[in-house]
Amino acid sequence: MACSRDSFLESCSARLVKRTSFLFKLPYASSPLSTLILIYRWIIALISIFITGFIGLSIVLISFGYARNFLAQHYFNHVSLFILRLMGFRAIIPSLEEFPNKPVFYTFNHNSNLDILLLTALGLPNARYLISEKTLKYLPIIFSVKGVGGHYIPQQHHAKRRLDFFKRTALFLKRKADISMFGSAEGVHPHRHAIAPFNRGIFHLAMKAKRNIVLLYIHMPPEVVTDKLKDAKGGKLQLEILKEVDTSSWQFDELDKNIADIRAVYVNRFNRLNPLKPTE
């Protein structure tokens, strides 16, 4: 007896999903056709990131960096929103008028690899982004990261290189008085629906560079906070500005207390939004 069209598609999808799922750390799903569609959407998104990143970085290099601000406001922001839409996500972000009109250091809670797309979707001029060297394994995004002004941070087990990096970056921010920088307070950690412990590096950097710290909160549904493709089927991503912290009176011996105070702001916000599963 001949198979129906739907049965044929399900059978083909099941075989293809089994053969490609290891590329995405994706276990075999009960609905292979929907999983296959999800894989294809993300493959198209990665290809789009590669192509648009290559175009953007080429323009930045050809213009000797002068086109970066224009691209941030009129190209990379729209590309980021398009990529998120392609993956099935809707971004809710503040308008440019709500952000400080001076150079600051932006920090944020980091629960997904989608954060960089949400941040570059803002279209802020004169911005640079701190990104872990761990992401260098994601080859399609390297052109985009360098195009938007990404700086790769050495991982913590490369202590000397990491320290030298922060020293150089502090000097860079002192020299470039109009530049703002984005860096996650949580750093590299297993993504989970919570507020992770904070690292000291970016706060010390902000203090040395004499930048106030603006706290950004990224609200993501629990199902999109992991690195597994099966947990990223789409949803609403929202970014809000919590507050600006004045660092002009900060002292190094009080840094841990200042960090704890800032983390408490994030914990309180998270717990208000997630009363049934609070974090500590």
**5-19, pLDDT tens digit by residue?**
445 444 554 454 444
CATH of the domain at 206: 3.40.1130
Let me know if residue 226 belongs to a domain.
yes
Q: What mean pLDDT is predicted for residues 117-136?
A: 92
Query: Looking at the domain assignment, is residue 58 inside a domain?
Result: yes
Query: Which of 21-25, 38-42, 46-50 is predicted with the least confidence, judged by mean pLDDT?
Result: 21-25
pLDDT digits (tens, 9 = 90+) for 154-200: 887 888 999 999 999 999 999 999 999 999 988 766 667 788 889 88
Q: What's the pLDDT score for residue 194?
A: 80
Q: How far is it, in rounded angstroms, from Cα 70 to Cα 91?
A: 21
**Confidence (pLDDT) at 233:** 65
pLDDT tier for residue 2 given thresholds of 50, 70 and 90: very low
Q: Is residue 279 part of a domain?
A: no
Specify the pLDDT at position 232.
Answer: 60
Q: 1 in a domain, yes or no?
A: no
Q: What is the pLDDT averaged over residues 234-248?
A: 92
* 148-152 mean pLDDT: 92
Residue 188 CB neighbours (<10 A): 16
Q: Band the pLDDT of 125: cuts 50, 70, 90.
A: very high
Residue 46 lies in a domain: yes
Weakest mean pLDDT among 100-104, 201-205, 225-229, 276-280: 225-229
Query: ∠ CA 223-89-278 to the nearest 5 degrees?
Result: 35
Q: What angle do CA 227, 233, 239 make, to 5 degrees?
A: 75
Going by pLDDT thresholds of 50, 70 and 90, the confidence category of residue 24 is very low
Mean pLDDT of 140-160: 88
Domain annotation covers residue 156: yes
Q: How many CB atoms lie within 10 A of CB 85?
A: 13
Count of domains observed in the chain = 1
Q: Average model confidence (pLDDT) for the chain?
A: 84
Position 52 pLDDT exceeds 90: yes
Beta strands at 213-219 and 235-245: parallel, antiparallel or unpaired = antiparallel
How does DSSP classify residue 231?
A: G
DSSP structural state of residue 134? G
Containing domain of residue 206, as a range?
Answer: 7-273
DSSP 68-104: HHHHIIIIIHHHHHHHHHHHTEEEE---GGGS-SS--
Considering the domain boundaries, does residue 2 fall inside one?
no
Q: Is residue 280 part of a domain?
A: no
pLDDT band at 121 (very low <50, low <70, confident <90, very high): very high
The side-by-side arrangement of strands in the sheet containing 150-153 is 89-92, 235-245, 213-219, 105-108, 180-184, 127-132, 150-153
